[in-house]
Amino acid sequence: MNSIGSYRAGLLVLGAALLVNFYFSTLTLDGTLVGINSFRQAQTAVSTYYLQKDLSLDYITPLFGPPWEIPLEFPLYQLCAAGFANGTGLGLDAAGRLTSWLFFLSALPAVYLLLAEFRLSPEQRLLFPSLMLLSPIYLFFSPAFLIESTAFATGIWFLLAFVRTVEHQRWSWLPLALLCGGLTCMVKITTGVVFLFAAGLWTITLVRPAGRGRGRILVWSALLAFSSLGAGLLWTAHAKAVRDLNPAVGFLNTIFGFWSFGDLAQRLSWSFWFRTYRVWADSIVGESGLLLLAFYLGWLRGRFFRTVLGCLAAFLSGQLIFSNLYWVHGYYFYASSVFLLAAVGFCLAEILEHPAVPRWGARALLVVVLALQLSAFERTYYIFVCERPPVPPVAELVAAISQPDDVIIVFGQDWDATLPYYAGRKAIMLRSDRADDLATLRQRVARLDQGRIAAVVLLGREWRDADLARKALPEGQLGAQPFLSDGHSIGVWVPEARQPALRLLTQLKRFSDFKMSPLRHIPAEGVTLRAGQILHREEFDQFNPRPMRAFARHDFTFIEVDRRRQLLAHAPTELTFSLPVGASRMTAEYGLIDSSYTEGNKTDGIELVVSHRPPGGTEQTLYSRQLDPGQRETDRGPQVLDLPLPAGMTGQIIVRILPGPKGNMSFDWSYFGQSLIR
């Protein structure tokens, strides 16, 4: 790097790269976790959310019913993110992103120190962290709510401590090597394997010329490798034992078993290599870096030739060992990308110091390589950085209709934790590949306090499937249709015992995309609405003026009668109006819905009574009429109230809908609406 300037120039390049990385990393701090990789981010976030409340290594991931503890990786990242959020007061999304980014930055000093082992000058070593800071995969995933940067940082520091301990016999580095090696394998054992593979390659380079010191090198290398891997396996065994207490999560043992490795056919397929090549070119070094590697390996082959080959071997180890994981999840390359970037860095370091390369050419080459990394970021990840997906409205809706200690049941979202996380509620989720296994679901529901089940959320084409909802909660009395729905893909089924209180929640009005179902049956505790509540309820939109007070044995809703909206109010119902100044007439429509006396239903009718209550005076009846549509055809359909009011009348008008002459309230499905007092 002497050919492009001094150590100061290297610091300027590093500083510029750090500023660019800082800019793009902080763009997402005020965003949600919704979008690309939301599945994995929300799963990590929901565990962190509950760690904020209760610090435990056997942490909660509340997606499959009790027992809620189903630990996966060792929660180093989650503990740090939860502590950072609690200590700073930041929202959990932002705190988690910053924690991840800081872990990535913490790895850069270790990279710089490790490069000293290759006899690179200080200014040459600055080139490598610059490449890392501008690599698309590190630009995008470092500020994500993921454990990747945590395992990566501990892995880099393990590799540095490993070299200082084994090669240089600096025993002060031994505790750090043991700690970081163990943490890397416990946090993410697949990342630990990649760094252990790199440590093994380093050991090979040491034992070849070591002579009598070979035994010592092999013993210490094996000690560090087996202690690290052993820590990871011990945690894995412990986590599995805890998860096994919940029979619904047995599938996780398959995911973390042979499925992760893939098969030989996958490793030999053209599609596998073409896809992984696109990750190299689009997400790590760009086409310019790969061309630089090809040029170096095919023509220059200088003093770093074997080092470059070793870096490439370490880079390929992850995708060759865990081929299926790398095939399915692009972020798995986060752990091994540093070795591909290191290979490019060594190529650049040697080319830039070549006597045939002029200073201007060296500077131009460096600028082109770094700029093309940013170009690769722009075409792959930048669009996702710019997106601002909001919190799903259904999550906010579920939070509004439930309490923090409630549980929801979710169909149609696999085990994506986005809805439970943003709702702040524990959930039982039905995985997409086990949609027919409802027996297990019922067992999970049976372990719950039934009174704490707040909703069954159906997402997708089956949003109004009453049979499916009842299979999830057979004793929940959910009714025949969703309590709230958006009309095309979301149905929120609520136990009927909870519905009366929810119909009174004025905050539900802000969810304009969701409609509340008409009233079919509500327990008869009696409901009283005051003026402030009535003002915000659309059931009373057709009243002018609106009532100042409304009481019903059951709650209010609206129905359509002859294409006109009416207030459905089961007898007995009482509506109190304040008389406008100068009012001389009251008009309205009322009646009983047809199904109250058909389809085997037998109402004995209702009585409509309109009274006047003057200020400080005695109430007087102005109008009274009994309807019995089952017996009199003239009483069927909408009836018209056209009531003249005496001049100068003040005070209140009270409208009462009372049961029929026998006092039987069964099937008294009355309505009253289109009211006007003028």
Distances in Å between the Cα of 575 and the Cα atoms of 296, 525, 542, 631, 654 are 87, 17, 14, 27, 6
| The token pair that represents 161 in the structure block | 């401590």
Burial of 207-228, coded b for 16+ CB within 10 Å and e otherwise, reads: beeeeeeeeebeebbeebbeeb
Average pLDDT, the chain: 88
Angle value at C-alpha 508, between 502 and 511, nearest 5 degrees: 140
Portion of the chain with pLDDT greater than 70, in percent: 95
Q: 81 pLDDT exceeds 70? A: yes
Residues in the chain: 678
Cα 364 from chain centroid?
43
Q: What is the pTM of this model?
A: 0.76
600 conformational bin, left if phi > 0, alpha if psi -120 to 50, beta if neither: left
Q: Which of 330-339, 471-480, 612-621 has the highest mean pLDDT?
A: 330-339
Q: Which of 475, 506, 479, 504 is nearest to 492 (CA)?
A: 479
Q: Which run of H or E residues covers position 491?
A: strand 490-493
Q: Is 659 exposed, middle or buried (0-12, 13-18, 19+ CB in 10 A)?
A: buried
- The SS3 assignment for 652 reads strand
Domains of the chain in start order, with CATH, are 2-386 (no CATH), 393-516 (no CATH), 527-677 (2.60.120.1060)
Calculate the CA 663 to chain-centre distance. Answer: 53
- What is the rounded distance in angstroms from the CA atom of residue 485 to the CA atom of residue 460? 11
Q: Enumerate residues 6+ apart whose C-beta is below 8 A from 515.
A: 484, 485, 486, 487
The backbone torsions φ and ψ at residue 569, rounded to the nearest 5 degrees and listed phi first, read -140, 100
- What type of residue sits at position 398? V
Eight-state DSSP code of residue 81 = H
Could you tell me which of 280, 299, 304, 281 has the C-alpha nearest to residue 127?
A: 304
Mean pLDDT of 615-621: 84
Q: Using the 8-state DSSP alphabet, how is residue 208 labeled?
A: S
Of the two residues 218 and 154, the one the predictor is more confident about is 154
Q: Which two tokens stand for residue 432?
A: 């997409």
b/e sequence 453-468, b meaning 16+ C-beta within 10 Å = bbbbbbbeeebbbeeb
Q: In degrees rounded to 5, what are phi and psi of residue 417?
A: -85, 10
Give 151 or 665, the one with higher predicted confidence: 151
From 253, 267, 279, 270, select the one nearest 332 (Cα to Cα): 279
pLDDT digits (tens, 9 = 90+) for 560-605: 888 888 998 788 899 999 999 999 999 999 999 888 888 778 888 9
The pLDDT score that the predictor gives to residue 434 is 59
* Range name among 246-260, 330-344, 630-644 with the lowest pLDDT average: 246-260
Cis status of the peptide bond prior to 175, with omega within 30 of 0? no
Are β-strands 652-659 and 573-578 bridged in parallel, bridged antiparallel, or unpaired? Answer: antiparallel
Q: What is the pLDDT of residues 507-561, one digit of tens each?
A: 787 888 898 876 443 334 578 888 988 988 888 999 999 999 998 877 778 888 8
Is the peptide bond prior to 614 cis by the omega test (within 30 degrees of 0)? no
Q: What is the pLDDT of residue 472?
A: 78
| pLDDT above 80: residue 440 | no
Cα-Cα-Cα-Cα dihedral sign, residues 120, 124, 125, 128: negative
Query: Side-chain half-sphere of 486: how many Cα atoms within 13 Å?
Result: 16
Helix (H) or strand (E) holding 543: strand 543-544
What number is the average pLDDT over the span 154-169? Answer: 94
CA distance 371 to 365: 10
- In eight-state DSSP terms, residue 389 is P
Q: Which residues pair with 533 in a beta bridge?
A: none
Average pLDDT of the segment spanning 445-467: 87
Smallest Cα–Cα separation from 580: which of 515, 677, 514? 677
In the block, residue with structure tokens 């996380």: 421
pLDDT at 215 (0 to 100): 82
- In this predicted model, what pLDDT tens digit does every residue of 399-427 receive, in sequence order? 999 999 999 999 988 889 999 999 999 99
